[in-house]
Amino acid sequence: MATSGGARTPRPADSDAMRPGVTPLHLMRGLLSADRSHIAADIVAGVTLAALGIPQSLGYARIAGMPVITGLYAMVAPMAMFALLAYSRHLVVGADSAVAAMLAAGLAGRAAAGSPRYVALAGLVALLSGALLLLARLIRLGFLADFLSRSVLIGFLTGVGVQIAAAQLADMLGVHTSGNSVIGRLVATVRALGRTSLPTLAVSLGVIAVVVGLRLLTRRIPGALIAIVGAIIASRLLHLPARGVTVVGPVPRGLPGLHPPALSLHDAAALLPLAGACFVVIVAQSFATSRAYAAKYDETVDENADLVGLGAANIAAAFTGTFVVNGSPTQTQMVDSAGGRSQLAALTTSVVVVFVLLFLTGPLTFLPLAVLATVVFLIGLQLINVSGMRQLFVMRRDEFLIALLTAVTVVFVGVEQGIVLAVVASVIDHVRHTYAPYTAVVVATDEGRFIDVPPTPQARTVEGLVIYRFGATLYYANARRLVDQVDACLAAPDPPRWFCLDCIAISDVDFTAAAALRQIHNELATARARLILTEVLDPVRAELDRYGITQLIGSDAYFATPQDVVHAFRSEAPSSRTPRARADAAAMSSLPGRVKP
């Protein structure tokens, strides 16, 4: 499957995407395609992701109402499972704020947050979500990603970046705020500025100085990792918690167990709508993110193959006591910023988290939340694609509006709503273009050339003949346009004797359009004119046969090329064989892209 940026010739490493079926090699391409020269960078990126993602995942667990340790469990089996099975080189799968918030809202009232019953229900949601993802793979729903255009991706990641950055400001200032929306949290943060914790603000500014300073110096040094390690050391030596700096707190030690979630048909039926909502968010956000990074590096994507990895990751989450996982734009950007270019980075992260769970949960106790918030804030700023939005504004204003609509909806409403609305807007924009497609009449000039001119009632290819180009699929929304333009030709003082529809751009004719062609034939016949067709694709010819159009106009009304039409027209109109007519025929035979008769 090509990237949304347009078709391209696949690189050798990508050529398996063009073959039918999915083999284990295809599924593991994200790992096996690792370039040996980038292995060290992938490992460093994996360690960096572990350092940044561990505290973040603890926060996501709290959002989901789960025990804090389950956030780390999401970085072990689920992340490793996707890394092993993924087709995408860049997408990182783990705990995510969108599905965590959905899970908490969906399970509210069914069990006490953090209780064994709550954990079991969360595992069941993950299991159902994984089953839906695998079912989507079986029926090949990966095509849904084709509705995510490049403009949608730019707007999506920009909106996510704004949302992420805005959500971190309160923790960076050390203030406690409430609010369910981005604007609500921003307003609450501004109102709480007078209560800013100066030690917390100093920690945040210090992290910005370290990360940005090292990034300006060289991108080979993981500034975020250095900032986190340094902050843990400073927190311990300077007793920052006693100075009002909030820290992560105690984290239990040990690996997750392996056991199935409690299976109950009653619970499964009750939680299926919640799992369905999680499925939509997982597909939308994961596909949008994987496509964005594939487009960035000019690579192919295969969402149907990634569906297997996403489904397996959520089933692994269900069996290891954690919650629904998702393709994460934030964690994907963390790896990309650190130089990671394959799933080896995510696999490295899982190994590091296993080591941390066994031996290093103690130091996490002293990690200031402001450090995590600041690092994530800087990552959110990187996701805001100002240059991409500017290019869209200059080059394609309608797609800029779609990107802006996507970004605004993600920020003010939510990620899943933003994606759905953007897809709908993209489809409407496409329908708008096909509703009023490019149309033209091929007309001979005084110099003996043929050019496309607007289809005015007086435009003629040669005297008595109109070759009319229709630049889109013929369907119910634009069939009236064709009828109106034929009527305009017939109303002219010199109506054509032949009206030829050039079908080279018509890939489908629906039932309404077939009725329009019958109407056109009847109107032309009443005016003693003839409807003929040229360059008809084989599938379209089969449709016209089925609709009875061929029987109506006759099999001799089909011509291979416009040149054949001109020659046949002159054969039936001997009076047209003038010097000018011969010049017209010569010009027609030289039309670019046409086969000479």
Q: Could you write out the three-class secondary structure of 516-575?
A: HHHHHHHHHHHCCCEEEEECCCHHHHHHHHHHCHHHHHCHHHEECCHHHHHHHHHHHCHH
* Of the ranges 203-207, 416-420, 457-461, the best mean pLDDT one: 203-207
* Least confident residue range of 54-58, 172-176, 229-233, 557-561: 54-58
Asked whether residue 444 carries a pLDDT value surpassing 70, the answer given is no
Confidence of residue 288 (pLDDT cuts 50, 70, 90): confident
pLDDT score recorded for residue 592: 43
**Would you say 289 and 329 are in contact if contact means Cβ atoms under 8 Å apart?**
yes
pLDDT score recorded for residue 449: 66
DSSP state of 11: P
Asked whether residue 585 carries a pLDDT value surpassing 90, the answer given is no
Give mean pLDDT, residues 335-343: 90
Asked whether residue 576 carries a pLDDT value surpassing 60, the answer given is no
**Would you say 45 and 92 are in contact if contact means Cβ atoms under 8 Å apart?**
no
Distance, in Å, from the CA atom of 212 to the CA atom of 207, rounded to the nearest integer, reads: 8
Distance, in Å, from the CA atom of 187 to the CA atom of 191, rounded to the nearest integer, reads: 6
pLDDT score recorded for residue 125: 96
Neighbours of 190 (CB within 10 A): 11
**Would you say 211 and 223 are in contact if contact means Cβ atoms under 8 Å apart?**
yes
Q: Over pLDDT 70: what percentage of the chain?
A: 87
Confidence of residue 17 (pLDDT cuts 50, 70, 90): very low
Neighbours of 208 (CB within 10 A): 17
> For residue 271, which phi and psi values (nearest 5 degrees)?
-95, -5
Question: How do residues 91-102 score in pLDDT, each as one tens digit?
Answer: 999 998 778 878
How, if at all, do strands 530-534 and 93-94 pair?
unpaired
Distance, in Å, from the CA atom of 126 to the CA atom of 138, rounded to the nearest integer, reads: 19
Neighbours of 552 (CB within 10 A): 15
Contacts of 584 (CB under 8 A, 6+ apart): 444, 448, 450, 461, 462, 566
Distance, in Å, from the CA atom of 402 to the CA atom of 405, rounded to the nearest integer, reads: 5
* Of the ranges 32-46, 120-134, 154-168, the best mean pLDDT one: 120-134
292 compared with 582, residue with greater pLDDT: 292
pLDDT score recorded for residue 26: 60
Q: Which of 46, 16, 51 is nearest to 32 (CA)?
A: 16
Question: How do residues 551-563 score in pLDDT, each as one tens digit?
Answer: 999 999 999 988 8
As a residue count, the chain comes to 597
Confidence of residue 304 (pLDDT cuts 50, 70, 90): confident
Contacts of 391 (CB under 8 A, 6+ apart): none
Tokens of 596: 């000479």
For 356-391, what is the HEC assignment? HHHHCHHHHCCCEHHHHHHHHHHHHHHHCCHHHHHH
Asked whether residue 139 carries a pLDDT value surpassing 70, the answer given is yes
Which helix (H) or strand (E) is 441 found in, with range? strand 439-444
pLDDT score recorded for residue 377: 87
Note every long-range contact of 578-586, with CB atoms under 8 Å and residues 24 or more positions apart, other chains counting.
581/462, 581/463, 583/444, 583/448, 584/444, 584/448, 584/450, 584/461, 584/462, 586/448
Question: How do residues 26-37 score in pLDDT, each as one tens digit?
Answer: 667 777 666 778
Asked whether residue 46 carries a pLDDT value surpassing 90, the answer given is yes
* Least confident residue range of 117-131, 325-339, 501-515: 325-339
Mean pLDDT of the chain: 85
State which amino acid sits at residue 283.
Answer: V
Q: Over pLDDT 90: what percentage of the chain?
A: 48
Distance, in Å, from the CA atom of 437 to the CA atom of 342, rounded to the nearest integer, reads: 42
Confidence of residue 144 (pLDDT cuts 50, 70, 90): low
* Of the ranges 8-17, 426-435, 546-555, the best mean pLDDT one: 546-555
Neighbours of 470 (CB within 10 A): 21
Distance, in Å, from the CA atom of 97 to the CA atom of 60, rounded to the nearest integer, reads: 6
CA angle 117, 123, 125 (to 5 degrees): 105
pLDDT score recorded for residue 327: 94
Q: Which of 259, 256, 273, 260 is nearest to 124 (CA)?
A: 260
* Least confident residue range of 220-234, 501-515, 542-556, 580-594: 580-594
pLDDT score recorded for residue 148: 67
Give mean pLDDT, residues 196-201: 94
Asked whether residue 11 carries a pLDDT value surpassing 70, the answer given is no
Asked whether residue 333 carries a pLDDT value surpassing 80, the answer given is yes
**Would you say 127 and 267 are in contact if contact means Cβ atoms under 8 Å apart?**
no
pLDDT score recorded for residue 589: 47
Question: How do residues 481-523 score in pLDDT, each as one tens digit?
Answer: 999 999 999 998 889 999 999 999 999 999 999 999 999 999 9
DSSP per position, 252-302:
--SPPP--PPPP-HHHHHHHHHHHHHHHHHHHHHHHHHHHHHHHHTT----
**Would you say 468 and 496 are in contact if contact means Cβ atoms under 8 Å apart?**
no
